[in-house]
Amino acid sequence: MNDEREASRTPNYLRPCVGLDVHKGSITATRMEPGGKVSKTWTLPTTRSEIHALAETIPAHVPVVLEASTAGKAVAMVLNAIGCELHMAAPNKIPKPAVKTDKRDSVRLAQLFQSGSMPECYVPPSEIEHLRLLTRNRRDLAQKVTLVKNQVRALVTRNLLAAEMKGVSQWFGVAGLRKLVRLSLPSGDRAHLARYLEQLKLLAQQEESMQIELAQVARDRADIQLLMTIPGVSFYSAVGILAEIGDIRRFSDKQHLASYAGLVPKADNSGTRVAEHQPLKKGNAVLKAFLFTTVMAMLKASQETAVTRF
């Protein structure tokens, strides 16, 4: 433990490190000594057993540096569980080199770490990563439902039968579905409609299963229940907000959290010129969507809040 504390106080350029260029099939690793000297570069398959073997060759005080990606996060979760010191780089903030190879990328990551100029991003613990996967899959399901419903509406419009659905407020409620299946459609489109409705039925079953799992998560966590005391915050939104923020202590103040969520304008100032009405920062699109949904629900709630007064 004392060795780890000493290592954390040592400047990066005096620390050895290992840069990993991770792909779904292979990993290129580079061991860089203090001062930027490359001592070894090798390639290994991206498998759990090989990652464990790699971790055994890296002392606990030697940082491991890799880029954020689907495969990179999976490797990071394995190394994190083993106890490696991890540093994850944001790939969209690293300048693209003129010549790009796996070896050069692993070296570049190690160099960025030792120089102290690596744009580092948050490495969530496995529990938070699981919640992110759960809520994002739930969002994907909702988008698929919307896509299929739009296909049904387009089918009805294509056959000039939209007037037949006039007065039906919920096309996909019980009354709406009864009217849809009775529409006078050509045999081909009737078969398409049957397939669309079958897809909606399957998606509804999957949504219900995921809702139950999300409700169980909300029931077992006091921090999620605390978020749910805010008007407009459902258990689904609470889990999503918590999962995307992760450890709230990584933000020094509320302004940094708002910036992370993409709720502040971009800065485009130069000299005496101060730009106004700049578009919002991109930020975390998933967190922004959850906050938007929450505010809309809050506005519809009967309880008065600072947001509704605003």
Lowest mean pLDDT, pick from 9-18, 101-110, 192-201, 202-211 = 9-18
Mean pLDDT of the chain: 90
Q: Give residue-wise pLDDT tens across range 36-65.
A: 999 999 999 999 999 999 999 999 889 999
In one-letter notation, the amino acid at residue 189 is: D
Indicate the CATH number for domain 2-123.
Answer: 3.30.420.140
Q: What is the pLDDT of residue 270?
A: 66
Section 94-119 average pLDDT: 92
Distance CA 238, CA 224 (A): 6
- Tens digits of residue pLDDT in 285-304: 999 999 999 999 988 887 88
Of the candidates 19, 196, 203, the one whose C-alpha atom is nearest the C-alpha of residue 108 is 19
Q: Map residue 259 onto helix, strand or coil.
A: helix
For residue 88, which of 250, 261, 242 has the smallest C-alpha distance? 250
251 with 258: CB under 8 angstroms? no
User: 214: exposed, middle or buried (C-beta count within 10 Å: 0-12, 13-18, 19+)?
Assistant: buried
Question: Which pLDDT score is estimated for 202?
Answer: 97
Q: Are 283 and 259 in contact (CB under 8 A)?
A: yes
Backbone angles phi, psi at 249, to 5 degrees: -70, -10
State residue 263 phi and psi, 5-degree precision.
-110, 15
- Return the structure tokens found at 168: 């039906």
What local confidence, expressed as pLDDT, does residue 175 receive?
92
Q: Which of 6-10, 174-178, 198-202 shows the lowest per-residue confidence on average (mean pLDDT)? A: 6-10
Give residue 223's pLDDT. 92
End-to-end CA distance of the chain: 50
Which residues share a beta bridge with 33?
37
Q: Answer whether residue 8 shows pLDDT above 60.
A: no
Give the pLDDT score at 302.
79
Indicate whether 276 pLDDT > 80: no
Q: Angle 306-258-95 (CA atoms, 0-180°, nearest 5)?
A: 165
Beta-carbon count within 10 A of 169 CB: 7
Averaged pLDDT for residues 183-210: 96
Q: What pLDDT, on the 0 to 100 scale, is given for residue 266?
A: 72
pLDDT tens-place string over residues 71-87: 999 999 999 889 999 99
pLDDT tens, 117-165?
999 988 888 899 999 999 999 999 999 999 999 999 999 999 999 999 9
- Structure confidence at residue 125 (pLDDT): 86
Q: What is the pLDDT of residue 269?
A: 66
What is the Cα–Cα distance from 152 to 162, expressed in whole angstroms? Answer: 11
Local confidence band at 15 (pLDDT 50, 70, 90 cut-offs): very high
Asked whether residue 244 carries a pLDDT value surpassing 80, the answer given is yes
Distance CA 263, CA 256 (A): 10
